[in-house]
Each structure stands twice: as structure tokens, then as C-alpha cells.
Chains A and B, each alone.
Chain A
Amino acid sequence: MLRFAGKRALAALLVLFAISVLVFLIFFATPGADPAARIAGRNASQETLQQVRESFGLDKPIYVQYLVMMRHLFVSRDLTSFVNRGSEVLPQVWAAIPVTLSLVIGAAVLWLVLGITMGVIATAARGTAIDPIIMIVGVIGISLPVYWLGEVVNLITQSRLHDSVFSWVPPLGYVPLSDGVGPWALRLFWPWVTLAVLYAGIYARVLRSEMVGAMNEDYIRMARAKGIGEWRVLLRHALRTSLIVIVSLFGLDFGALVGGAALLTEVVFGLQGIGKLTYDSLTNFDLPVILACVLYAAFFVVVANFIVDLVYAWLDPRVRHV
């Protein structure tokens, strides 16, 4: 097990390195993507371009630029923004993390509860009309564009019904947890719901599929033969084995979302999280911030992958020898 973990950790480090190179190449070496031209603005003169190149170190060979940026990011930790010169990048990332974590953790609780409940009920109700109805609801959840759902939620809760039903909905934005759990949760309630809809749909569908498959297995017949009640068979036997798939899905989704994949939700609800930071830095082409954000994102995804691999290997020893 330890050897397996070591091998996986090494692979994860390699993937992180490859991603940092990939991002660097996307922004510094793609044809047509001249970072100096972006910084200098449209129709800048050749002298300005030259000045910008020198001042930002963009005239050096590409691998030197890469190494310099990585040293600022990881060793001296004083990487500064290209756009707001002098403002450091890492504090911005640190400030954004609690916002994204609050959003994603709350949404995750919601979608796990919803998704698992829907999946279990649909499995229990196989053969009745309830099962296809729940599955259709799941498909609709998957098919709604998340940013559109967010805008519609804003329209209803902030404008149309704000004076009657939704008068309790506070304005958009984030309030830190230190200001009290109530205001924090109230502000994040609708973002949580919006983000959870998609994943609840996915998890309900996947879980039902797994559980219906599991219900045909021998150990379920065995459990029934022992005289165990149907609900107990469903929850203690079928659900338990089917949850393995959910665990691995959850690891990956959670990692990606904490890494900034909740960008659309954050943009629509005006939450200054990692996704919003990434988006803002992308729109004004602030390369150091982009690099820091994307590496941070990749770090979370790789770590989540790593943990999922370990959990898998722990649950299913056959994987260790692959």
C-alpha cells in the first residue's frame, strides 16, 4: 500500500509540473499570444513594446522566464501582478480561498444529500412512475446552464419576488463566517442551491444506475434469503457498495470546484472566490495571477485524484497491482 501511495504521489508531482509548463506555454508561447503586446495595450509603438519586454523580463529566453516565475511563486513567494504592479499575487489567492471553500462545501452537502436521496428513492421505486419522474428531474438538473440558472434565481429573489416571498434574501456578495453563521449562510444559500442542482442530478443518475446493477448481485439475494427487510437490503447492502463510485466522483468534482470550476456561479453571484479571481485575471491578462490560480486549481484536482486513488486502493485491493 505504501509503495502504491509513493508511486502515485510521484506521478501527481509530475502531472503538476506538466500542467505548470502547459499553462506557461499556453500564455507565453501560443502563436499570436504576445504577453508584451497585451500589457502595452492596442497599437503600442515598438519602443513601448521593447520597454515592456525589458521591464517585465519578457525578452529573456522562455525557460528562464518560466524558472523566474516559478521561483517567485514557490521559493521567494513574492510574485507580483503584471497589471497592478507591486500588488502581490499570493495574498489575493489566500483571500479568495475561504469564499470558494464556503461556496463549494455548502453546495456539496446539499448535492450529496439530494443526489443520494433521489438515487435511493428511484431505486426503491423501480417499476413505478416515481422512478422515471425522479430521473427526468435529474436530467433537467444536468441540462440547465448553471450561469443561466443563477441569473434566473437572481431575477426572482432579488427583483420579482423580493418584496414578498424572498424578502429575506440579502444582497449579492460574500460575508465571512466570522461575522456569524446566520448572515454567512443566508448570503450563500442561493449560490449553494444553484451550484448543487447540476451535481445532484449527476449523482442521482449515477447512484441509481449503480444500485439497480447491485440489486441483481448474488450478495443481495443472499441478504434477502436471510430475511432482511427490503429497505435494510437497499441501504445497508446495495447503497454501501454503490457509494464507492460516488466517493470517486465526489473527490474529483470537489477538487475541480475548489480549484475554480465554480467560476460561473461565483461570477453570477458576485462572490470573490478563486474562480472569479481567475476570470478577472484572464480578462485583463494578468499572467502571474493566472498562473498562480491555475496551478492552485491543478494542485487541488491532483490531490483529489491522489486521495481518490488511495481510497479506491484501500476499498479494492486489486487496484494496487495495476
Chain B
Amino acid sequence: MASLAVLILVVLACLAAPLYAANVAHTDAFASNVNGTYTLNGVTKPVLEASTEGLGLGVNPIGPTWNITTFFLGADNQGRDVFARMLYGGRNSLFIGFVSAVICCVLAGIVGVVAGYFGKGVDAVLSRAMDVLWAFPVLLLAICLSVVLINTTITVGPITLTSSSLLLPILIIGIIYVPYVARPIRGQVMSLREREFVQAAVGAGAADFRLLRRELLPNVLPTLIVFLPLMTAINMLTESALSFLSIGVQPPDASWGTIINDGVGLLYTRPMVAIAPGIMLAITAVALNLLGDGVRDALDPKARLRGSI
């Protein structure tokens, strides 16, 4: 339950990003602020100060002030408020993670149930396609697809995807993990198909669609629901990795991965830019993983006896 509370807190904080930026910090998290100033304790200073360390080259953005109204976590090299950007970035990270997890579970559910139920040719085709995806290291596949697709504008019918669209990372991440969820679902359906209650429905003359919908789907649904928080965590981490390699969410939009990427250049002078979003990411992923464990124990009490992962 604690994990759910943490998760809700993180989500609420991220949803409140525009409120924070407009009313508390009075900052625009997406506009370059290289010549901006800030006022702290009655003293006004530029956000980017000429460096005094080493050779005195370049500029340093201000570090964390730990004052919630002005540059709580400092500024990035564009002079933008890191804390405000982190809240905004969390919206994208959470949104991409969750929506792609939903897409992944729905697709995997369809593929797994269809392959497991119809067997034979259908199963062979779907399973081989899964094998091919499976044999591709997931991260490499995601990177390949992102590199090709990120800077192009794709038009499919009425839908136009530009590089700034979040749909692209969502779809890529949603699809690459389908085999991981579809395989266990397929196995489950194959064993369900032999069970008495399904055989009884077959004997009663139920049509394929009715069998799928009334007998099989309700039985694989708990498995899919258990997968949902776990996949959300994995997908968020994947999204952040892609954004870290600058082939995920595109600037000036932010996600926790892009902010960590921004922070790498400032790592040794202003480490908080890279550290803070990573901690948010880790907290959210821990909460999601624990939530997944909790949901599994609740939906399948036997798992607790068997020993939960």
C-alpha cells in the first residue's frame, strides 16, 4: 500500500507541474533563460555565472538553492529551472511508460490468446514472429527503430507522426516487449483450453468468439493486470534510456531521461541536474515493482504460498 501512496504522490506532483511553474517558481520550464536573473534573499544575480573554477572558461548555471520558490534544484545549461522541468518531464515519463504498457499488454493478450487458442498454423506463424523479436536484444531493437523513425515525419492515413510526437516512443516501446508478455499468456491459454470448463463450453456448442471472450479472456486478465505495473516500470526505464541517448522524447520537451542527458554535461559541476531525475525514476520504478508484487498476491493468493518473485 505504501508503494501505491508513493506512486500517487509522484503522479500528483508531476500533474501539478504547470501550477508549480506558474504560481510558485514563476518560471517557464521550456524557454531558454541564458540571460535570466534570479532574486534570493534580496540579492539579484544572473542565472548563468562566469566560471571561476579551473581555467575560468564557460559559464556555470546556479546550483541547488534548496528554496522551493527559486531554482530549488538549480538550473541547467540553458538557465531553465531543473525542478520545474523535472516535474514536467515526469508527466512524459509516466505517460509514455503507462500508455506503452497498456498497448503492450493489450497486444500481447491478443497475440497470446489467439496463438494459444487456435494453435497449429496460426500459433506457428505468431510464435516464429515472437521468436524473431525475442532474438533481438530489446534495447538494440528499440534504438534501431528510434534512430530510423525519430527524425522523419510519418504519415499513415489521417495520422501524422512528427518527431516531437510522444506517440513514436510509445509505439516503439509498446511493441518491443510484446513477446515477453505474450509467451506466458500463450502457455496459460494452451493449458486452459484443455480444462473441463472450456471443454464443457465447446461441448455446449459455443462459437470461437464466445469461448475467447467468456471462457479464456476472464482467466488471462489477472495475468495481464499483474504485468501492467511491471511493464510500466520497465517501459519507463526503456524510455528514459532512449531519451538519454537523445532518440526518445525530443527537446524542448522533457522526460526524466532527457534531463539526465542534459545533466551529464554538468555532471562534475552541477551534479544535481542528473542525479535528481534518476532518483525520481528509481523511486517510481521501485513503487511500481512493489505494486506489481502486491497486485499479484491479491489476485493470485497461491503465488504467496509458492513464493513471490
Contacts and interface: CB of A to CB of B under 8 A. Distances in A.
Interface of A: 11, 14-16, 18-19, 22-23, 26-27, 30-33, 139-140, 142-149, 151-152, 154-155, 158-160, 205-206, 208-213, 215-216, 256, 259-261, 263-264, 267, 278-279, 282-283, 285, 290, 294, 297-298, 301-302, 305
26 contacts: A15-B135, A26-B144, A26-B148, A32-B148, A32-B152, A32-B153, A142-B289, A145-B281, A147-B241, A148-B282, A151-B263, A152-B275, A154-B267, A155-B275, A159-B267, A205-B309, A208-B309, A210-B307, A263-B143, A279-B143, A282-B143, A290-B144, A294-B144, A297-B140, A298-B135, A305-B134
Contact of A145 (B143, B237, B263): B237
A279 B290 CA distance: 33
Contacts of B274: 148, 151-152, 155
Interface residues of B, number: 47
B244 interface: yes
Closest 5 CB pairs of A and B: A212-B307, A32-B152, A143-B285, A148-B278, A261-B137
Given A212-B306, A301-B137, A23 B245 contact: no
Contact of A140 (B136, B138, B233, B282): B282
A135 to B, nearest CB: 9
A209 B309 CA distance: 5
Contacts of B171: none
Given A142-B285, A211-B307, A261 B139 contact: yes
B137 A259 contact: yes
A30 B146 CA distance: 12
A159 B143 contact: no
A32 B154 contact: yes
Contacts of A15: 128, 131-132, 135
Residue among B148, B155, B244, B290 with max Cβ neighbours from chain A (10 Å): B148
Contacts of A22: 132, 136
B140 A259 contact: yes
Given A145-B241, A211-B307, A151 B139 contact: no
A252 to B, nearest CB: 9
Contacts of B290: 139
Contacts of A16: 135
Contacts of B263: 151
A279 B142 CA distance: 12
